[in-house]
Amino acid sequence: MKNTIGQSKTKDIMTKMNGDKQFKSFSESANLKLQLAVEIYNARIKINLTQQSLAKKAQTTQKVISKIENGDVNIGIELLNKIAKILHFDDTTFAGIFNCPITINEFKFDTFKSETAGLKENNQSNQYTYN
């Protein structure tokens, strides 16, 4: 006999939790950590690196790599940058992890003309020089 009462209670709890802003924020954060963890793990395996060898190249410990791959740690930007370079991540990798529709290759520098300090535009050639 199926236990539909337990399943129904679980659905009710999840419905209530999904409406809670704190739970939604936590859930989104956890999802990003797990997506990043999976990408790092898959990329590491693809190029035949152990956690230990990745850690050595990234100047960290195997324990930290393990925690990252388990989604158990908030990774800092510097360490993420080191790992991304070692694992040959590109803009599409990050776009997929962070569900970002715009890739770095589509970035247009002239979008920030007026806000960019120290740069002057040559109106005729649309080139920039740094002061």
Map out the domains of the chain with their CATH numbers: 4-103 (1.10.260.40)
What is the reported pLDDT for 85? 94
What is the reported pLDDT for 126? 46
The whole-angstrom separation of Cα 71 and Cα 39 is 11
The whole-angstrom separation of Cα 118 and Cα 3 is 67
SS3 80: helix
Q: Which residues pair with 128 in a beta bridge?
A: 121
Encode the chain (131 residues) as per-residue pLDDT tens digits. Answer: 455 555 666 666 666 666 777 877 777 778 888 999 999 999 999 999 999 999 999 999 999 999 999 999 888 999 999 999 999 998 788 777 777 765 445 444 444 444 444 544 444 544 444 44
